[in-house]
Amino acid sequence: MVGPHDAEDVAQDVFDKVSRRVKDFRGDSKLSTWIYRIATNTAIDRLRSAAYRHSSNHVPIEEATGNEDQSAWATQRPAATNQTLIRKEMSECVLEFVDKLPPDYRTVIVLSELEGLTNKEISEIIEISIDNAKIRLHRARAKLKTALNEGCDFYHNDQNTLSCDRKQVHIFPKVPD
């Protein structure tokens, strides 16, 4: 929900909160649901924070310089196959569109599609009815599908692998009346 740069900080906060509050766990739900609720709330709090909004407008130094893999380990990685690279690029592309969804939609998409939780578990985590969870997930998927269709051209490549290209944005000059 918060992206890879803040995920470790959020995870640390979640572990801290869980360890301090585990004695307060009443057992009304599964332990995993309780932990997901803490994680979701912590991520939402991070997204709402002024520090996060400020930092999300800046690119990390590693990305700006392109030197994040300049370690001795970088040369020892096996080469990625073409299909693996295509899947990775598509996953990154889809995640960019997921990140642009409104927070309520992003939350249900992440919990359902990335975490593999059921509608019941999602409803317990975000404290809404199962019907509302289903509706929100349906709307989130529809919004994501629309965004993907507007931003990408999907096709099958020579290896019959689903691929996509970003659509070019054309900005036309304003014509005077």
Q: Supply φ then ψ for residue 70, to 5 degrees.
A: -90, 30
- Report residue 48 as tokens: 């709402």
Looking at residue 82, its pLDDT comes to 66
Residue-wise DSSP of 33-69 = HHHHHHHHHHHHHHHHSHHHHHHTTS--HHHHHT-TT
Q: For 42-96, write each residue's pLDDT tens digit.
A: 887 777 765 555 455 444 434 444 444 443 334 444 445 666 776 777 788 888 8
Q: For 104-157, write each residue's pLDDT tens digit.
A: 899 999 889 888 889 998 998 888 999 999 999 999 999 999 998 888 887 777
166 strand-pairing partners:
152
All residues at 6 or more sequence positions from 75 whose CB lies less than 8 Å from its CB, including other chains? none
- Domains assigned to the chain: 1-77 (1.10.1740), 80-168 (1.10.10.10)
Looking at residue 38, its pLDDT comes to 85
Would you call 168 helix, strand, or coil by DSSP?
Answer: coil
User: Residue 160 region, left (φ>0) first, then alpha (ψ -120 to 50), else beta?
Assistant: left
